[in-house]
């Protein structure tokens, strides 16, 4: 089909053949050119917050594989930095933050200077991108960012944030509300800077009990979506409440997101049922892309057969693993594009 921007078209509800393809964490350590750039930048945060480097990292996977989406090279924790938290990334250890004790540890307004390089990177990418590629902005879901801020990183399985959800939900509400407001502004500024759609990564949504999920995931996401739709009515929002299981449908309908990203645990018949509410994206297991071979071929064929008749974006169900061989990504592109 002759669609000028296949990914944007699909997110707006069109069925496009072959379906558009991009990969979560498509810029990263599995690419030799990323590893070289990362070394040149010195640190991951330097890479994120220097527009020249962030632009190059965003473009690398698009250049190599011709993906339909270019996702801004940044991180969900830049918003925590802009709200006054100290964030460090140590090699091989994930993010480290100074743990939060209460709401007063977050400033009322995000610091514009911290975020300015992010928007500058988007403007540069937009100017350099092929006409058919859709530029994606993103942010973390407020619950997921709150979990990193409260626990000070991910090594604790977010025991403290979950304890807050159970013991002092009103305090957590305050933190999540402040993050939700800053996140809506951050995403709107990304759309102002040239992003054409945005994805909200609520990677740890699946840790919450159903009533907590409604309060700390669905409710603030609905407010973010309403604020963005008011300011940018035509820009699609992809929601990714990872591991939401049986609650994916409620999230899709109640938050008003335009498209839903699914993790690999979602059975394909459930994924197909969710297409009744709008476009879905996903959900190949990153371990299958790592493994390659007949298992990869079969899984890609199954996903395409189940989902391609309705608006569908091919993606992984979580970020690509750094050990993934480039040939397996090439094979995936052939399978999705060429119908092999
Ligand atoms: O997808 C892309 O290519 C765009 C860039 C992007 C990054 N992080 C770059 C990154 C995106 C969209 C993210 C989102 C993100 N960051 C999430 C949500 C998605 C998910 O994976 O659940 C989360 C939870 C984070 C926080 C974060 N950042 C963690 C837990 C880590 C450490 C894990 C790891 O892979 O090392 C990071 C670091 C990070 N963010 C890297 C990249 C490329 C690796 C840094 C490096 O060593 O070069």
DSSP-derived letter for residue 21 is: B
User: Which pLDDT belongs to residue 339?
Assistant: 60
SS (H, E, C) 156-167: CCCHHHHHHHHH
The catalytic residue positions are: 25, 29, 38, 75, 148
6-338 folds as TIM Barrel (3.20.20)
Per-residue pLDDT of the chain (340 residues; tens, 9 = 90+): 567 999 999 999 999 999 999 999 999 999 999 999 999 999 999 999 999 999 999 999 999 999 999 999 999 999 999 999 999 998 878 899 999 988 789 999 999 999 999 999 999 999 999 999 999 999 999 999 999 999 999 988 999 999 999 999 999 999 999 999 999 999 999 999 999 999 999 999 999 999 999 999 999 999 999 999 999 999 999 999 999 999 999 999 999 999 999 999 999 999 999 999 999 999 999 999 999 999 999 999 999 999 999 999 999 999 999 999 999 999 999 999 986 5
Å from CA of 94 to ligand 1 middle = 8
Q: Which residue among 57, 58, 76, 152 is best mutated to probe the pocket of ligand 1, counting the most ligand atoms within 8 A of its Cβ?
A: 76
Q: Is 200 in contact with 238 (CB distance < 8 Å)?
A: yes
For the Cβ of 88 lying below 6 angstroms from any atom of ligand 1, the answer is: no
Atom in ligand 1 nearest the alpha carbon of residue 201: 18
Å from CA of 22 to ligand 1 middle = 16
* Cα–Cα distance measured from residue 147 to residue 159, given in angstroms and rounded to the nearest whole number: 9
Q: Exposure of 297 by Cβ count < 10 A (0-12 exposed, 13-18 middle, 19+ buried)?
A: middle
User: Which pLDDT belongs to residue 85?
Assistant: 96
Residue nearest to atom 40 of ligand 1 (CA): 75
* Cα–Cα distance measured from residue 197 to residue 247, given in angstroms and rounded to the nearest whole number: 24
Half-sphere exposure of 84 (CA within 13 A, CB side): 12
Angle between helix axes 326-338 and 51-65 (nearest 10 degrees) is 60
For the Cβ of 203 lying below 6 angstroms from any atom of ligand 1, the answer is: yes
For the Cβ of 229 lying below 6 angstroms from any atom of ligand 1, the answer is: no
User: Which pLDDT belongs to residue 93?
Assistant: 83
Domain assignments of the chain as residue spans, ordered by start: 6-338
Q: Exposure of 268 by Cβ count < 10 A (0-12 exposed, 13-18 middle, 19+ buried)?
A: middle
For the Cβ of 29 lying below 6 angstroms from any atom of ligand 1, the answer is: yes
- pTM for the complete prediction? 0.97
For the Cβ of 76 lying below 6 angstroms from any atom of ligand 1, the answer is: yes
User: Which pLDDT belongs to residue 340?
Assistant: 53
Q: How far is CA 4 from the centre of its chain?
A: 23
Q: Is 232 in contact with 191 (CB distance < 8 Å)?
A: yes
């Amino acid at each position: 089909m002759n669609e000028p921007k296949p990914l944007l078209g699909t997110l707006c509800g069109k069925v496009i053949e072959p379906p558009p393809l991009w990969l979560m964490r498509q810029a990263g350590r599995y690419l030799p050119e990323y590893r070289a750039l990362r070394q040149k930048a010195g640190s991951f945060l330097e890479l994120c917050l220097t527009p020249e480097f962030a632009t190059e990292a965003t473009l690398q996977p698009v250049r190599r594989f011709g993906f339909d989406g270019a996702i801004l090279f940044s991180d969900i924790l830049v918003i925590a930095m802009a709200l006054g938290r100290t964030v460090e990334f140590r090699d091989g250890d994930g993010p480290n933050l100074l743990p939060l004790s209460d709401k007063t540890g977050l400033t009322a307004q995000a610091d514009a200077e911290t975020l300015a390089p992010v928007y500058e990177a988007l403007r540069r990418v937009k100017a350099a991108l092929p006409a058919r590629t859709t530029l994606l902005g993103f942010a973390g879901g407020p619950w997921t960012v709150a979990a990193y801020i409260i626990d000070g990183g991910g090594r604790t399985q977010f025991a403290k944030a979950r304890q807050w959800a159970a013991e002092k939900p009103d305090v957590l509400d305050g933190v999540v509300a402040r993050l939700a407001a800053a996140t809506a502004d951050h995403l709107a500024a990304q759309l102002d800077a040239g992003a054409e759609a945005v994805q909200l990564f609520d990677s740890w949504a699946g840790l919450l009990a159903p009533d907590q999920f409604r309060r700390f995931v669905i409710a603030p996401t609905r407010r973010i979506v309403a604020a963005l739709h008011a300011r940018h009515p035509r820009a699609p929002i992809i929601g990714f409440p990872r591991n939401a299981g049986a609650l994916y449908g409620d999230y899709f309908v109640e938050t008003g997101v335009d498209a839903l990203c699914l993790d690999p645990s979602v059975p394909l018949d459930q994924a197909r049922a969710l297409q009744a509410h709008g476009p879905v994206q996903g959900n190949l297991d990153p371990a299958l892309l790592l493994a390659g071979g007949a298992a990869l071929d079969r899984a890609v064929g199954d996903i395409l057969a189940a989902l391609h008749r309705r608006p569908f974006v091919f993606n992984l169900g979580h970020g690509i693993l750094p050990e993934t061989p480039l040939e397996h990504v090439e094979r995936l592109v052939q399978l999705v594009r060429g119908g092999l």
